[in-house]
Amino acid sequence: MIVHVNEGNDDTKKWLEEHSIDHTYSANNIGICYGVNAAASLASTEYVLYINDDMYVCPMWDEYLCQEIAKTSDNLFYFSSTLIEPRFTNNPSVLAPYNFGNNPDEFEEKKLLEQLDEFPTQDWNGGTWPPSIMPKSLWNLIGGFSTEFSPGMYSDPDLSMKLWNAGVRNFKGIGKSKVYHFMSKSTGKLLSNVKKKNKHTFLRKWNITSRIFYFYYLKMGTPYSDPLKEPVSSFSFTLDKVKSRIKLLLISMR
């Protein structure tokens, strides 16, 4: 385990040192992109798994990921665990709303574990959210997170787009690998203009919106059957791409 400590003014860094846990440190909060890249630079294993600090991993979550990797014949994959969240956000890959607490102090761990077997276990397309795992060789190939998306908004679809362009088509969410997400509100503190800037950065970089990438390319949240293929040409796909180009033109004119 490798931890990146953003600020760490609560003695986190001292605690990690006392317990000999590998970590990187920044005196200020440098965000997800720089933070994860820093931590990943210390990785010595064959795979890189990224997980946020507002998540509780359920029993066997890692074993199910390992089983999936063992069944995979190549290193062109990006797998995600399945999130359980207390609030509904229209994310088709997430199990919600199942409220077992919004923070560790009010977490109903026993209740969650008692109901865990009742949750669906179907695998899904579009694995791209943490906890997520890929071969370290792939991480090095694409250069990790793109720092132009700091502090982190839209860095996830950008990472997946880089993987797509590197030839990855196996974006799989593992239904049995469950993780409860407290849904930290730290990203909600970001100014709306920062979010809009990163949204526009994605559009400028890839000439399509992140919504188009998730819906037409990754088929986010749909039942998994086989590795993905190139998007099928359709009227709606063409129309959405035209709308993206118009948005890009309007942004460029500002």
At residue 133, the 3 state secondary structure works out as strand
CA distance 160 to 58: 25
* pTM > 0.85: yes
Closest CA to 155 of 144, 166, 146: 146
Burial readout 3-15 (b: 16 or more C-beta within 10 A, e: otherwise): bbbbebeeebbee
CA distance 221 to 123: 9
Closest CA to 157 of 99, 236, 234, 93: 93
Tens of pLDDT along the chain (254 residues) come to 999 999 888 899 999 999 999 999 999 999 999 999 999 999 999 999 999 999 999 999 999 999 999 999 999 999 999 999 999 999 999 999 999 999 999 999 999 999 999 999 999 999 999 999 999 999 999 999 999 999 999 999 999 999 999 999 999 999 999 999 999 755 555 567 889 999 999 999 999 999 999 999 999 999 999 999 999 999 999 999 999 999 999 998 87
Q: Tell me the pairing of strands 23-26 and 3-6.
A: parallel
Which domains are assigned to the chain? 1-44 (no CATH), 46-253 (3.90.550)
